Amino acid sequence: MQIGEKLRELRMQRNLTQEELADRCELSKGFISQVERDLASPSIATLVDMLESLGSNLQSFFADDSKEKVVFSPADLFEKADDEEKHGKITWLIPTAQKNSMEPILLELEEGGETSLMPPHEGEEFGYVLSGRITLCLGKRQYAVKTGGSFCIHPSVTHSLRNAGKTRARVLWVSTPPSF
Protein backbone atom coordinates (compact mmCIF):
# COMPACT_ATOMS: atom_id res chain seq x y z
CA MET A 1 0.00 0.00 0.00
CA GLN A 2 1.26 3.44 -0.93
CA ILE A 3 0.45 5.42 2.23
CA GLY A 4 1.62 8.71 0.75
CA GLU A 5 -0.48 8.37 -2.38
CA LYS A 6 -3.55 7.43 -0.36
CA LEU A 7 -3.03 10.41 1.99
CA ARG A 8 -2.67 12.71 -1.01
CA GLU A 9 -5.92 11.40 -2.53
CA LEU A 10 -7.73 11.90 0.77
CA ARG A 11 -6.36 15.45 1.07
CA MET A 12 -7.41 16.25 -2.50
CA GLN A 13 -10.92 14.86 -1.89
CA ARG A 14 -11.23 17.32 1.00
CA ASN A 15 -10.02 20.18 -1.25
CA LEU A 16 -7.12 20.99 1.05
CA THR A 17 -3.68 22.21 0.06
CA GLN A 18 -0.58 20.69 1.61
CA GLU A 19 -0.13 23.92 3.54
CA GLU A 20 -3.70 23.78 4.94
CA LEU A 21 -3.23 20.17 6.05
CA ALA A 22 0.14 21.05 7.57
CA ASP A 23 -1.47 23.91 9.56
CA ARG A 24 -4.22 21.62 10.86
CA CYS A 25 -1.66 19.01 11.99
CA GLU A 26 0.98 21.48 13.20
CA LEU A 27 3.48 20.05 10.72
CA SER A 28 5.49 21.62 7.92
CA LYS A 29 4.31 21.73 4.32
CA GLY A 30 7.62 20.13 3.34
CA PHE A 31 6.99 17.15 5.63
CA ILE A 32 3.48 16.68 4.17
CA SER A 33 5.02 16.76 0.69
CA GLN A 34 7.66 14.16 1.64
CA VAL A 35 5.05 11.86 3.19
CA GLU A 36 2.82 12.11 0.10
CA ARG A 37 5.80 11.18 -2.11
CA ASP A 38 6.72 8.30 0.24
CA LEU A 39 10.08 9.95 0.99
CA ALA A 40 9.27 10.14 4.71
CA SER A 41 7.16 7.98 7.01
CA PRO A 42 5.02 9.57 9.70
CA SER A 43 4.92 8.09 13.18
CA ILE A 44 1.65 6.40 14.14
CA ALA A 45 0.72 9.42 16.29
CA THR A 46 1.42 11.81 13.39
CA LEU A 47 -0.53 9.61 10.96
CA VAL A 48 -3.48 9.58 13.39
CA ASP A 49 -3.32 13.41 13.58
CA MET A 50 -3.20 13.69 9.78
CA LEU A 51 -6.12 11.32 9.34
CA GLU A 52 -8.23 13.10 11.96
CA SER A 53 -7.56 16.38 10.15
CA LEU A 54 -8.80 14.71 6.97
CA GLY A 55 -11.95 13.37 8.62
CA SER A 56 -10.77 9.77 8.72
CA ASN A 57 -9.18 7.26 11.09
CA LEU A 58 -6.70 4.39 10.98
CA GLN A 59 -9.37 1.71 10.54
CA SER A 60 -11.01 3.28 7.50
CA PHE A 61 -7.69 4.39 6.04
CA PHE A 62 -6.33 0.85 6.05
CA ALA A 63 -9.63 -0.85 5.14
CA ASP A 64 -9.64 -2.83 1.91
CA ASP A 65 -11.33 -0.51 -0.61
CA SER A 66 -11.70 -3.32 -3.13
CA LYS A 67 -14.74 -4.53 -1.16
CA GLU A 68 -16.55 -1.20 -1.58
CA LYS A 69 -19.71 -1.78 -3.58
CA VAL A 70 -19.86 0.14 -6.85
CA VAL A 71 -22.87 -1.35 -8.68
CA PHE A 72 -26.28 -1.65 -7.05
CA SER A 73 -29.26 -3.81 -7.98
CA PRO A 74 -32.93 -3.05 -7.27
CA ALA A 75 -32.65 -5.28 -4.17
CA ASP A 76 -30.04 -2.88 -2.71
CA LEU A 77 -32.22 0.22 -3.02
CA PHE A 78 -34.13 1.73 -0.12
CA GLU A 79 -37.64 3.14 -0.55
CA LYS A 80 -39.57 5.45 1.70
CA ALA A 81 -43.13 6.61 1.13
CA ASP A 82 -43.23 10.32 1.81
CA ASP A 83 -45.98 11.52 4.11
CA GLU A 84 -49.17 9.73 2.96
CA GLU A 85 -50.90 13.07 2.40
CA LYS A 86 -48.07 14.13 0.10
CA HIS A 87 -48.64 11.21 -2.34
CA GLY A 88 -45.00 10.53 -3.02
CA LYS A 89 -42.19 8.02 -2.73
CA ILE A 90 -38.41 8.41 -2.48
CA THR A 91 -36.00 5.70 -3.59
CA TRP A 92 -32.35 6.06 -2.57
CA LEU A 93 -30.42 4.90 -5.64
CA ILE A 94 -27.18 4.41 -3.69
CA PRO A 95 -27.86 2.94 -0.25
CA THR A 96 -24.66 4.35 1.26
CA ALA A 97 -25.06 7.85 -0.23
CA GLN A 98 -25.15 9.58 3.16
CA LYS A 99 -21.40 8.98 3.48
CA ASN A 100 -20.72 10.42 0.02
CA SER A 101 -20.59 13.99 -1.25
CA MET A 102 -23.72 13.55 -3.35
CA GLU A 103 -27.02 11.79 -2.81
CA PRO A 104 -29.03 10.64 -5.84
CA ILE A 105 -32.67 9.70 -5.37
CA LEU A 106 -35.62 8.79 -7.56
CA LEU A 107 -38.63 10.86 -6.55
CA GLU A 108 -42.09 9.72 -7.62
CA LEU A 109 -45.05 12.03 -7.08
CA GLU A 110 -48.62 10.99 -7.82
CA GLU A 111 -51.14 13.52 -9.18
CA GLY A 112 -51.35 16.34 -6.65
CA GLY A 113 -48.28 15.02 -4.80
CA GLU A 114 -45.58 17.23 -3.39
CA THR A 115 -42.39 17.00 -1.38
CA SER A 116 -42.00 18.38 2.10
CA LEU A 117 -40.60 21.91 2.30
CA MET A 118 -36.81 21.77 2.41
CA PRO A 119 -34.91 24.52 4.20
CA PRO A 120 -32.05 26.42 2.54
CA HIS A 121 -28.67 24.70 2.76
CA GLU A 122 -25.14 24.84 1.42
CA GLY A 123 -24.48 22.92 -1.76
CA GLU A 124 -26.34 22.24 -4.97
CA GLU A 125 -29.28 20.24 -6.21
CA PHE A 126 -29.85 18.87 -9.69
CA GLY A 127 -33.03 17.31 -11.01
CA TYR A 128 -34.03 15.66 -14.28
CA VAL A 129 -37.70 14.97 -14.99
CA LEU A 130 -37.93 11.42 -16.33
CA SER A 131 -41.70 11.58 -16.81
CA GLY A 132 -44.59 13.90 -16.01
CA ARG A 133 -44.53 17.58 -15.13
CA ILE A 134 -43.42 19.21 -11.92
CA THR A 135 -43.38 22.67 -10.44
CA LEU A 136 -40.14 23.67 -8.73
CA CYS A 137 -41.01 26.06 -5.90
CA LEU A 138 -38.08 28.26 -4.80
CA GLY A 139 -39.29 30.61 -2.10
CA LYS A 140 -42.08 32.59 -3.79
CA ARG A 141 -40.93 31.72 -7.33
CA GLN A 142 -42.29 28.76 -9.29
CA TYR A 143 -40.81 27.08 -12.37
CA ALA A 144 -42.50 24.52 -14.63
CA VAL A 145 -40.33 21.56 -15.66
CA LYS A 146 -41.60 18.95 -18.15
CA THR A 147 -40.37 15.49 -19.16
CA GLY A 148 -36.81 15.79 -20.41
CA GLY A 149 -36.26 19.08 -18.59
CA SER A 150 -33.83 19.61 -15.76
CA PHE A 151 -33.03 22.08 -13.01
CA CYS A 152 -29.93 23.04 -11.05
CA ILE A 153 -30.20 25.16 -7.92
CA HIS A 154 -28.14 26.51 -5.04
CA PRO A 155 -30.92 26.25 -2.46
CA SER A 156 -30.71 29.57 -0.66
CA VAL A 157 -34.46 29.60 0.07
CA THR A 158 -37.03 27.06 1.21
CA HIS A 159 -37.86 24.83 -1.75
CA SER A 160 -40.03 21.91 -2.83
CA LEU A 161 -41.37 20.04 -5.86
CA ARG A 162 -45.01 19.54 -6.74
CA ASN A 163 -46.60 17.31 -9.39
CA ALA A 164 -48.21 19.74 -11.83
CA GLY A 165 -49.74 17.10 -14.10
CA LYS A 166 -52.43 14.44 -14.17
CA THR A 167 -50.04 11.48 -14.23
CA ARG A 168 -47.24 10.28 -11.97
CA ALA A 169 -44.10 12.43 -12.15
CA ARG A 170 -40.69 10.77 -11.81
CA VAL A 171 -37.61 12.88 -11.09
CA LEU A 172 -33.96 11.89 -10.76
CA TRP A 173 -32.75 14.25 -8.04
CA VAL A 174 -29.17 14.68 -6.83
CA SER A 175 -28.25 16.72 -3.78
CA THR A 176 -24.82 17.70 -2.57
CA PRO A 177 -24.22 17.43 0.30
CA PRO A 178 -26.76 14.70 1.08
CA SER A 179 -30.00 16.19 2.42
CA PHE A 180 -32.82 13.68 1.91
Domain ranges of the chain: 3-67, 74-176
pLDDT tops 70 at residue 129: yes
CB 125, CB 158: distance < 8 Å: no
Its CATH class, for the domain covering 74-176, is: mainly beta
CB 110, CB 88: distance < 8 Å: yes
Full-model pTM: 0.62
Q: Classify residue 109 as exposed, middle or buried by CB count within 10 Å of its CB (0-12, 13-18, 19+).
A: buried
Interval 104-127 mean pLDDT: 92
Count of beta carbons in the 10 Å neighbourhood of residue 52: 13
Say which CATH architecture domain 3-67 belongs to.
Answer: Orthogonal Bundle (1.10)
C-alpha–C-alpha distance, residues 117 and 104, integer Å: 18
Convert the pLDDT of each residue in 66-94 to its tens digit.
Answer: 567 788 888 888 888 765 557 888 998 98
180 vs 159, which has greater pLDDT? Answer: 159
Q: Which residues lie across from 162 on neighbouring strands?
A: 114, 135
Predicted pLDDT of residue 87: 80
